Every structure is written in structure tokens, then in C-alpha cells.
A and B are shown apart, each in its own frame.
Chain A
Amino acid sequence: MITPKTLSSILDSFMGRLSLALAEKFDDDIVVRLSSAVTSINEKMAGFSIEDIHTVEDLMKITEENILSEFSLAFRDSVEDIDIIVAQCWKDHMQALGVSID
């Protein structure tokens, strides 16, 4: 069975893969965009508790209002669809790990 350490390693390397993809797709301003989004997200999430999530709707609402909206704002002028880049990265990552998500 998977261990927390392995899961952490998978997620860390996924973040690395995502960073490589973003570095390839975007110009230097990507760091500024992301940095601004991350700062805003951390400000919004300060004081947030995982216990605030009771239903799937709660998860979606919190995700949309606090996280996705900031990423949307950061990538609003982009011709690249950030969701598609992330999804493709995850698919590539799973394939590299020998997992099919079909």
C-alpha cells in the first residue's frame, strides 16, 4: 500500500513536472504571476480549517473562491488554458509512474 512518504514524493515530483511545463509554455513573467497568485491565496486561506469542508459543494466553493479565482486572475490574459496544462501534466506524470487514467 502507498505510504505518506511515497504520496508526498509523487505530489512533489508532479509539482516539478508542472513547473517544467509552465517554464516551457510561458515567458519570464510566469514567476511574477504565480507569486502574486500564491500570495493572495495564502492571504485568503489564513485562518482556514480543513474542518470547514463538510460536503463536496463546500470543497468546490472554497476552491473556486480562494484558489481557482486567483489562478484565473493570474492567467486571465493567457492564450494557454492553465487547466489543460495541469491536466496534461498529471496525465504525463501518471503515465511515467505506470498508471493509466483512461
Chain B
Amino acid sequence: MANERSFWGFAGVLNITPEQAETVAADIEAQVENNPRAREILQTLKRLAPVAGAIAVSAFLGGCGGGAPAPNPDVVDRSMTALKDYITNPGTISGAAGTILLMWGLVRASGFSIARTINMFRDPADRVPEGPPASKSDKRMGRNLAMVGSAIMLLTGLVNAFIEHPVTRAYAAREGTETITEATDRLKQLEATRATEAKPYGPGITVPPGVSEEQHRAYESGRAEERSDVEQDGWKIRRGEELRAEGSEAYAAAEGAVQSEEARTARVVSESERELNDAEITRVKSNIQLSIAHGRLAAVNNAMDSLVRIWERNLQAKARQEALETTREFQDTLAEIDLIVKDNPQARTHLDALRQRVHDKIVALEGGE
């Protein structure tokens, strides 16, 4: 089935061979082994409980679809559709049915009754499962089931490889996708067209009709450069285009953050080192805008809390009058943030509480405290 829509690589992941996975895994493992900090980080990440880990991976993958912070509802929905497409593919259903029949048939044929088999799965440690052994006719039926299962699997493979099942064709037509045969035909046509239109121009070089060697070389050189740029920045450019399409200031700020090489390579500056200056305020406001745009309330509240903590720490080193001025300026900053979060009632409630704290501090400072 040529259902090749590769949402966050899902369809592609299904086609990865064990050899490919093991080669890449060995390479990564060697790199991690040589990097003590990465090793420690990996051990920490592996401490995630299995269910939490599975959900975190789902969320990460969802976020990868558009390069947008997870979870992106649109991408999650699309990935669910891809999963459904795969599960409802006639080839998958047929293959799975054949496998189940084969396995069940083998179990019965080897002398396990239904009760004994169920008991064995309930308690795998029990080497001699309880329950009556299968009768002779049961064993014969099991052998027949295994043969039918094998036949279905074999037929599924043959049909998928050579014929393409009519159901698969109907499914492809309904879903608006190509069958393997159609995709192969189209590829052959493309190759034939290319072979007709191109003419040989020196060993190993083909150029379209009417193009000089010089023009061809210039084109190839430009394309190589373009390819290189796209390889390096394609992801950022795509993300930028998506962000621009949204047309909001928040997305533009995010685009700036993504494309800023300085920001990408900068090291973490801990909160205790931060000062309440214009750059910090702009950075936090940008974070809040971005988080609001993606509906990440926890991140919005964290950003506001962080700013308030920096303000409180900065006050400690100041005299009363200077602290009062700083706090009044900070009150204006919070009023600006209020404009950003005004449409989010929960963020606004949180901000109101912070504004009250700042107001109380001003009253205290004015009172001479």
C-alpha cells in the first residue's frame, strides 16, 4: 500500500529494518559511551516510568510534526489518522489474521487445550499449566488452523507483492492514495520522460535540451549550494514560514528566537545571575507571548514567577528610594504583561496575584519599611 504520507516519520518508521535501527543505535551508543554527561542524562531520562515515557515520546513526536512545541492538536490528529490508516490497511488485517490463526493453530496442535493455554498466559512461571490436555481431534483442528493461517499469510504476501488485492485498490481509491502498482507506473513514466528529454553531455552528465555545459554547471553549482542551505536551515525556514503564516507578533518573536544563531549556541544563564533589565524583560515577554500562543499555561505562569523572583532578588541590594523606583517601573512592566495575557483568564488571575504582591511592596516602601 503506497500510503506514504510520513507524518513525523511515522509511515517511514514502520519501514525501518532491524539492521538500520541497530547500526544507528550502535553509533549513538558509542557516542554516549564517550560522553560522561550524556551518559548521565540518558540514565536520568530512562528513569521515566514506562507509561510516562510512552506518553512523553508521543508528545515529543507530535511536536516534531510541524517543528512546533508539543502537543500540537493538528499533528496529533494527523498522526492518529496515519495510525488508523495503517491498522485498517487490508494487508495489515489479513497478515495479522493469518498470524493469529497460525499461532493459535500451533498452540492447539502441540497439545495445549484452551484452558491450559489461558492458564499458561496467566502464570508464565508455571511450567506445567493446569487443565485437561487437548484431545486428538483438537490437535487435528489445531494443525488445520495452523495450515490455514500459513496459507493466509503466504497469500497476503503474494497478493501484496505481485497482484495487489482488489480491496487494497478500493481502499486506495477511497483514501485518494496510490496503490503500489500505480506509484510504480508513475515512476516508470517519469523516468522514461526524463530519459527522452535529457541528452548526454560528457561522461556521466545529462542536461536538458537547449542548455549549454556552462549553464548546466552553473545550475548544478547553484543547486548544490541551495541543497546545502536547505539541509542546514530547511527546518528553520519551514518553521519560520509556518510562523509567518500565523501572522502574530508572538510567532514572529519565536521565529527570531529560532533563527538567532546566538540564542541557539548560548549557554544557560541561571536565574540567580539574571538582572531586571530591558533585555531580560523583553526575553520573558517574548516567552510569555509564545507560551500563550501555544496555550501552555504552566509555562506562562513560570515565566511570570521567574520575573517576580528576579525583581525581589534585585531589590535586596537597593536603598529604599531606589527600590521604590525599581518597583514602580516593575509595576509598569506587569501592566504590559497584562496586555499580553488579557485574553487568558487563568494567566490573568495568576498575574493579578503577582501584581497585588508588587502593589503591597510599594505601599510598604512608601510607608518607610
A contact set with B: CB distance below 8 Å = 1-3, 5-7, 9-13, 15-20, 22-23, 26-31, 34-35, 38-39, 41-42, 45-46, 48-50, 56, 59-60, 62-64, 66-69, 72-73, 76-81, 83-84, 86-88, 90-91, 93-94, 96-102
Contact = CB atoms under 8 A, between A and B. Distances in A.
B29 to A, nearest CB: 6
A2 B80 contact: no
A97 B37 contact: no
Contact of A79 (B17, B45, B266): B266
A10 B21 contact: yes
Contact of A63 (B48, B71, B263): B71
A64 B55 CA distance: 10
Contacts of B112: none
A94 B52 contact: no
A50 B46 CA distance: 19
A100 to B, nearest CB: 6
B235 A91 contact: yes
A97 to B, nearest CB: 5
Given A13-B29, A42-B49, A6 B41 contact: no
CB-based closest 3 A-B pairs: A99-B12, A69-B298, A83-B69
Interface string B4-35: 00111100111111101110110111011001
A68 B61 contact: no
B114 interface: no
Interface of B: 6-9, 12-18, 20-22, 24-25, 27-29, 31-32, 35, 37-42, 44-49, 51-52, 54-61, 63-65, 67-71, 73, 76-77, 80, 95, 235, 257-258, 263-264, 266-271, 274, 283, 296, 298-299, 302-303, 306
Contacts of A13: 21, 24-25, 28-29
Contact of A99 (B16, B35, B48): B16
14 contacts: A2-B14, A18-B45, A31-B44, A56-B80, A59-B59, A60-B76, A62-B55, A68-B59, A69-B298, A78-B268, A96-B27, A97-B13, A97-B24, A98-B20
A45 B56 CA distance: 12
Contact of A101 (B8, B49, B283): B8
A72 B64 contact: no
Given A42-B48, A63-B55, A77 B270 contact: yes
Instruction: Tell me the interface secondary structure of chain B in the complex.
Output: helix
A90 B8 contact: yes
A34 B302 CA distance: 17
A41 B24 CA distance: 29
Contacts of A88: 235
Contacts of A11: 57
Given A20-B38, A79-B266, A99 B9 contact: yes
A84 B67 contact: yes
Nearest to A20: B38
A40 B60 CA distance: 18
Contact of A19 (B39, B76, B269): B39
B298 A64 contact: yes
A99 B25 contact: no
A41 B48 contact: yes
B76 A73 contact: no
B60 A86 contact: yes
Nearest to A78: B268
Contacts of A22: 38, 41
Contacts of A77: 268-271, 274, 306
B198 to A, nearest CB: 25
A22 to B, nearest CB: 5
B24 A96 contact: yes
Contacts of B57: 11
A47 to B, nearest CB: 10
Contacts of B76: 56, 59-60
A42 to B, nearest CB: 5
Nearest to A41: B52
Given A31-B44, A38-B45, A41-B49, A81 B24 contact: no
